[in-house]
Amino acid sequence: MLLPFLFITKILTGAITIKPNSQFVFYEEFKKGERIKFECSENDGMDYELVIHNGNPKETLTELKLSYVVLHTEAQENMKLHFIFKNTNSDSIKIWFMLPDVTKEIQGPLGPVDGQDVVAELKNTLENIYVSQKNHIAKQIIHEKNVKNAKNTMFFFFMFEFFFNVFIAIYFYNDIVKLFRSKRRKL
């Protein structure tokens, strides 16, 4: 179960290799009021420099030197954020980063909770089970009414068959008795 999750996570993340003393830049556009979550980490725990600005390199929003970061913020206006990864090390570094869809997270008592798709799927499954159970109970009530009605009908047919069989038995008894009486008279 964990292996497919890791595979899907690797597909949804970006991985870049930055050569020594070089940088990698990308940008992402955000709408006003949109929540933003940015995660990145270096494979071997080596530090790198992360600079985030809104299009003007002189107005830096954040500048960090670390090996792992998770940033949460909200766009105050329509903006384009530029993310700059700088490798100040003498070795190449490999950085994994992702900008997950925050709308797929729900707010829990301790902050955002990943897996809203799982929660939504569970909710849909439970709703389907509830509807199925409700339909089953309705069908069971209809069946119970039909059984009660059929009970009276079955009693009527049972009594009809009983009296019909008694009538047939009496009729055959009288017919056989007549047959033997008529045979005896002839002798």
pTM value is: 0.49
Is 111 strand, coil or helix? Answer: strand
User: Does residue 42 belong to any structural domain of this protein?
Assistant: yes
Pair (80, 148) in one structural domain:
no
**CA atoms of 171 and 160, how far apart (whole Å):** 16
pLDDT given for residue 168 in this prediction = 96
**Inter-CA distances, 134 with 43, 122, 126, 129, Å:** 52, 18, 12, 8
Pair (108, 122) in one structural domain:
no
User: Does residue 2 belong to any structural domain of this protein?
Assistant: no
Pair (183, 119) in one structural domain:
yes
Pair (47, 131) in one structural domain:
no
User: Does residue 59 belong to any structural domain of this protein?
Assistant: yes
User: Does residue 1 belong to any structural domain of this protein?
Assistant: no
79-87 and 48-53 beta bridge pairing = antiparallel
pLDDT given for residue 66 in this prediction = 83
Number of domains in the chain: 2
pLDDT in tens, the chain (187 residues): 444 444 444 444 677 888 888 888 888 888 888 888 878 888 788 888 888 888 777 788 888 888 888 887 888 888 888 888 888 888 888 888 777 776 666 666 666 666 556 777 788 899 999 999 999 999 999 999 998 888 888 999 999 999 999 999 999 999 998 888 887 666 5
Pair (35, 69) in one structural domain:
yes
pLDDT given for residue 46 in this prediction = 82
**CA atoms of 184 and 178, how far apart (whole Å):** 10
Is 173 strand, coil or helix? Answer: helix
Pair (166, 88) in one structural domain:
no
